[in-house]
Structure 1
Amino acid sequence: MTRRDSLLAVLVAAAWGFNFVVIEWGMGSRADGSVPPLLFAAVRFALVALPAVFLLPRPQAPWWAVAAVGAFMSLGQFGFLYVSMAAGMPAGLASLVLQAQVVLTVVIAAGVLRERPTRAQVAGVGLGCLGLLVVALGRGGHVPLAAFALCLLAALSWAVGNVVARAMKVPGGLGLTVWSALVVPVPMVGLAIALDGPGTIGRGVEAFGWEAAVSTLYTVVFASFVGFGVFNTLLARNPSSAVVPWILLVPPVGIVSAWLCLGEVPAPGELAGGTILVLGVLVAMRPPRAPAPDMGSVPTGVSR
């Protein structure tokens, strides 16, 4: 990756890390009730798709591929994530557990796309996984098992979406983000009605205050347009194993943001694990050593 692509990856990680705090704040901030999680997600992606879909050309890829990206990277990931957080997953810990997608993406890409990671990337991802384990052991015991499992399913869905986006190799990440969002709102609303009952839309409208509106604005502009637009572009021009490890920076941002904004004081294990995660990113991003020139093939001083 170039230095410019690396800086863009850091920007994405920062936007996504703070996104967890914004989601939790917007979804449950009103005293008279919280916005149903799947309905909240449906509103977000409806605004991602409309009216931008009329302004951006459709990605040069088959419809099924664009729909698959939306189904896994948006519908699956955020459907599971929003429900997980509504079920009791704290914002800071959610930002951590979701990064299981790093390992899953590298493994799936290696098997499906034959993208073999370098030794540095393997070591960096391994170090990042160690950081995830340290944080999980430091504070994960009080989280409901169902919420934890849902967050892991969100990570798996994201990983599959990463590999599909990389396999398409379509330029123009913003167009892919917008057009793939078209597959999200209708199924998400249907799931919300099926899980929360036919009155879920009415309850959601009543609970949708200015806090939810500000939260939605952030998730649409910064997390979706900026975040996924840039991320999909990076995946289109770099191997998955070079792009995805940067997202290990999301948990430290999420943990610190939840600490400052929501009062989720991190345990020593979280701080130690976050540090290990950052080190893992630095190791994974180390460029491979250039092979030493073979001086024996051409004698010194002899030209051909």
Structure 2
Amino acid sequence: MRPSHLFLAVLVAAVWGVNFTVIEIGLDHFPPLLFSALRFLVAALPAVFFVGRPKVAWKWIVAVGMVLGVAKFGLVFVGMDAGMPAGLSSLVLQIQAVFTAVIAAAVLGERPTRVRVTGMAVALAGIGVAAWDEGASGPLGAFALVVAAAACWGVSNVLTRKASPPDALNFMVWVSTVPVLPLLALSLLTEGSSRDLAALRALDWQGAGTLVFVAWISTVFGFGAWGWLLRRHPASAVAPFSLLVPVFGMSSAALFLGESVSPARWCAAALLVGGVALTSLAPRRRPASPPDAGGTAPGKAPIRSSDHAESPLTATR
């Protein structure tokens, strides 16, 4: 990668990590489901008028919008509002790479290699340490909500791979149009219209700033830049930068929110990040070549399995 491309990859990881701290601040201004709905509304408008028509079938846009936007982000915002720390949330969500690999094996028939299985076991050990540490100091229910969000993220990753969008930004903007109304309906049902209206009436510059950051900076810029990098470099070269997200997430939460990081949490971070690295970056099994294939087709370069290493950030934050 060129130095400018390296800088952009680190910048996107930093934005996605700091995003958890910004969400925590935003939850002081909005009920969680309303905040999530507004995030997608601001991400979709006015960008939807500039990215062109959808480049994949609407069934994939709706499916990913419901699983990623409504289920995954609804659970994350509710979990963080219920007491899940921002830094720990940025770490625990990385277990989505394990869920993605398991679901891909079940749905797509992708048999994981021994290295990937080892990575899953290490990452799950990290989740166990994090749960034990959180159980000693915080609500386990909120922790479970974020783990459930990671599982939904894994489902959305597999759906996104099935959709194979040629333009990540176009896809993300159109996906952002789907969750707005379902999340608003859920907010009215569970959080109440009076609480929602009170939050909107009390909107100040800090609240508006959190909306702009999570919608335009984290979603539109983050995915636009990430997709741009993936179009110019193999996924195996871009994906490792996603492992910096919890580093920036935990650091920014400690710096701006005063969250402490216990020795057990550092141990969990090392296990989880290491396990996710093995799970996400290990080459997939190569499909067996037909006996009469004669190797590489004329005029085509051989495909390296490392070029298709799955990125842990197939979906947005």
The Cα of 1:40 is off from its aligned counterpart by 1.1
Counterpart for residue 213 of structure 1? 208
**Aligned partner of residue 98 in structure 1, secondary structure:** helix
* Counterpart among 143, 162, 166 of residue 161 in structure 2: 166
Counterpart for residue 25 of structure 2? 25
Give the gaps of 5 or more residues in structure 2.
Answer: 287-317
How far, CA to CA, are the matches of 2:215 and 2:261 in structure 1?
28
How far, CA to CA, are the matches of 2:4 and 2:135 in structure 1?
36
Counterpart for residue 259 of structure 1? 254
Counterpart for residue 147 of structure 2? 152
Judge conservation of contact 1:121–1:242 (CA < 8 Å) in 2. no
Give the gaps of 5 or more residues in structure 1.
Answer: 29-33, 291-304
The Cα of 1:237 is off from its aligned counterpart by 10
How far, CA to CA, are the matches of 2:134 and 2:191 in structure 1?
30
2:109 maps to 1:77? no
**Which piece of structure 1 moves more, 271-280 or 101-110?**
271-280
Q: What is the 5 A alignment of 1:13-92?
A: 13-28=13-28, 34-92=29-87
* Counterpart among 76, 88, 94 of residue 89 in structure 2: 94
Q: What is the 5 A alignment of 1:1-16?
A: 11-16=11-16
The percentage of counterpart residues that share the same residue type is: 44
How far, CA to CA, are the matches of 1:105 and 1:223 in structure 2?
22
Call closer, same or farther: CA 1:83–1:289 in 2, change over 3 Å: closer
How far, CA to CA, are the matches of 2:237 and 2:124 in structure 1?
16
Q: What is the 5 A alignment of 1:106-255?
A: 106-229=101-224, 247-255=242-250
Call closer, same or farther: CA 1:240–1:187 in 2, change over 3 Å: farther
**Aligned partner of residue 99 in structure 1, secondary structure:** helix
**Which piece of structure 1 moves more, 149-158 or 6-15?**
6-15
Call closer, same or farther: CA 1:156–1:71 in 2, change over 3 Å: same
Q: Which has the larger radius of gyration?
A: 1
Judge conservation of contact 1:174–1:229 (CA < 8 Å) in 2. yes
How far, CA to CA, are the matches of 1:37 and 1:245 in structure 2?
30
The Cα of 1:14 is off from its aligned counterpart by 3.0
The Cα of 1:277 is off from its aligned counterpart by 3.5
Counterpart for residue 300 of structure 1? none
**Aligned partner of residue 204 in structure 1, secondary structure:** helix
Call closer, same or farther: CA 1:165–1:217 in 2, change over 3 Å: same
**Deviation digits for residues 130-158 of structure 1, max 9, x if unmatched?**
33333332334332233223222211211
The Cα of 1:159 is off from its aligned counterpart by 1.1
The Cα of 1:81 is off from its aligned counterpart by 1.0
Call closer, same or farther: CA 1:278–1:82 in 2, change over 3 Å: closer
How far, CA to CA, are the matches of 1:152 and 1:283 in structure 2?
19
Judge conservation of contact 2:9–2:241 (CA < 8 Å) in 1. yes
Letter in 2 for 1:105: T
TM score, norm. by length of structure 1: 0.80
